[in-house]
Amino acid sequence: MRRLLLRSTLAAVGAALAIFGIPILVVGILVTLAPPEGRSEVVSRTTGASGVLLVTGFVLVLVLFGLAAGWFVAQRRARLLGDPLTELAARAERLGAGESRFMPLDSGIGELDRISDVLSRSAHQVTRNLAAERDFAADASHQLRTPLTALLMRLDEIASTDDLGVVQEEAQVAIEQVERLSKVVDDLMGRSRVSDPTRPSVSLDAVLASLQREWQPAFASSKRSMRIHGERGLRVRATPVALAQILSTLVENALAHGRGTVDIAARRTGPSVVIELGDEGEGVAPGLAPHIFERSVSSTGSGLGLTLARDLAEDNGGRLELVSTQPAVFAVFLSEAD
């Protein structure tokens, strides 16, 4: 920008000097090259009162033309610098007013373009942070809702029975739910999108058994059942809280939108373990199937949960897929632990 200001000043001064100096130089050259009688005539015309007035008028005209040329050039140069500054200020003002997009300025002025790039990157970062915060709030709400719902069902069971044995059994499960809820909160507070190569080895049988105990009251009240079968003794690489949350989301989805028995099967396939979950309902509509994992799909509540379950599976080095639409069958792929 300093170079631009310097060039602008020199251009304005140079234009003024050129308008003033070139005619005088031309006249001087013509007088020098003229024959002696011509020079004598010029001298005679520029002497005396009339000559002084003529020369003075000529000089004043040149001065006025020089000032006009300098002003014109200065105006042009000022616009080259001022217009990008005005546009940059306007875009920064719109950004401050809440506009999420900031289009970078291409003015050809290095300093202004660098400022524009910095503002553009900052706007992008702010937008991304706000989106991440909204996603985190939605994910946290859903992750906390599932264990809280299960805990409430256990407390309802305790409140509705006088059998001490049932109370003790349900209280023990409720304690497990509170512990799981605490782990969910810890997981949320330390949540990271970076894949962790040191994921622990977890017993799939233990997670599925806990899942069955957790959802048994809900299935009983709906007069439905859950069937768990397949290979036993499998261990997978995943955090227990994340795996429980993925499977709970799928069970909750099947309980809310499916019918009949919810079937959960586990098996090996190559270096992976596959957990398939399906039910006897009508399945997923063809128009919804390609978008079922999108966060924007609400589908009476299924969209956020499935999106979160898919993200948790990916965070644990696996994936979640819809392998059949009619009936609906979801498959969780995880690495088998040694």
- Tell me the pLDDT tens digit for each residue of 37-82: 655 655 555 555 665 566 566 666 666 666 676 666 666 766 666 6
pLDDT-flagged residues of the chain (< 50): 192-196, 298-303
The whole-angstrom separation of Cα 249 and Cα 308 is: 9
**Domain end (from 37, 70, 99):** 99
For residue 149, is it within any domain?
Answer: no
Residues 217 and 86 in one domain: no
For residue 66, is it within any domain?
Answer: yes
Residues 216 and 328 in one domain: yes
Q: Which amino acid is at 97?
A: A
Count of C-beta atoms within a 10 Å radius of residue 219: 16
**Domain end (from 99, 132, 148):** 99
- In tens, the pLDDT along 186-233 reads 666 665 444 445 678 999 999 999 888 888 888 888 899 999 999 999
For residue 138, is it within any domain?
Answer: no
The whole-angstrom separation of Cα 287 and Cα 200 is: 38
Closest C-alpha among 29, 23, 102 to residue 64: 23
Residues 206 and 328 in one domain: yes
Helix axes 36-45, 2-33, angle to 10 degrees: 110
For residue 170, is it within any domain?
Answer: no
Domain of 262, CATH number, reads: 3.30.565.10
Q: Residue 300: its pLDDT value, please?
A: 43
CA 236 to chain centre: 32
For residue 179, is it within any domain?
Answer: no
For residue 155, is it within any domain?
Answer: no
Instruction: Identify the domain containing residue 215 by its residue range.
Output: 194-335
**Domain end (from 82, 99, 116):** 99
Helix (H) or strand (E) holding 126: helix 110-159
For residue 198, is it within any domain?
Answer: yes
pTM of the model: 0.49
The whole-angstrom separation of Cα 89 and Cα 111 is: 14
For residue 11, is it within any domain?
Answer: yes
- How many structural domains is the chain composed of? 2
Residues 214 and 326 in one domain: yes
